[in-house]
Amino acid sequence: MTTTGYDQSAYPGDSWMQWLRSDSPIAVTGFYLAPAPYHSDTSWMPTRARLAAAGWGFLPVFVGLQDGASSLSGSRGTTDGQSAASLMRSAGFASGSTVFLDIETGGPISGPFEAYIDAWVAAADGAGFTPGIYCSHNLISWAQPKVSRIWSFHIPDAGGQTFDPGNLPTGSLDAGAVATQYRQNVYLEGYAHAAVDLNVCAAADPSRP
């Protein structure tokens, strides 16, 4: 049985997280580790303990350097992988928990970017966490030899729709993925915040060892 999840860049506040749990099937949340190279907002960082107590599962994500960045290298990947592990510990995630590296490009991936990713994976693993990759469904077969946990995105349209939170569209889990983002930039009726993304997850808490 799958679990519905959501993610948004900034933490919306405790009352809105309670509203989502009571008024929708959403039970897993993206958890942005910060500060990270491409995500400076640290609002999620102090929230893990109280969200876990409220029954939330997590998709911890580190938004590192992206394709085309001038400083891509294996050594930078090592530094950022160690940073991701340190942020996981600071947020209260147990050793062995999964942390996903955000990869926005649809591929193909090679050269300095791949060296960065490989080094990030090795560093996160060496620091005691389970490295995962967030990537396009087109990159699942590329990612599988590198990590055991893949969070794919497989988006049918540009988004912008508004949905009843109690009657959300269903999503399909991509083969080989532990979670799939199936909607981006959609709105929830009654939710007075920015657009959100929707995910379908294979487990109630994809971060658990």
pLDDT for 134-191, tens place per residue?
999 999 999 999 999 999 999 998 899 999 999 999 999 999 999 999 999 999 999 9
How confident is residue 65, by pLDDT bands cut at 50, 70 and 90?
very high
Within a domain: 208: no
Domain count, the chain: 1
The pLDDT, as a whole number, for residue 107 is: 86
Contact criterion met (CB below 8 Å) for 100 and 132: yes
pLDDT for res 83:
99
Closest Cα partner for 117 from 137, 101, 130?
A: 101
The reply to whether 28 falls in a domain is yes
Residue with tokens 């062995």: 96
Give whole-number Cα distances, 87 to 4, 37, 104, 168, 173, in Å: 25, 13, 21, 32, 28
What is the domain extent for residue 90? 3-201
**Residue 193 pLDDT greater than 90, yes or no:** no
pTM of the model: 0.97
206 is a domain residue = no
Digit-coded pLDDT (tens) for 72-87: 999 999 999 999 999 9
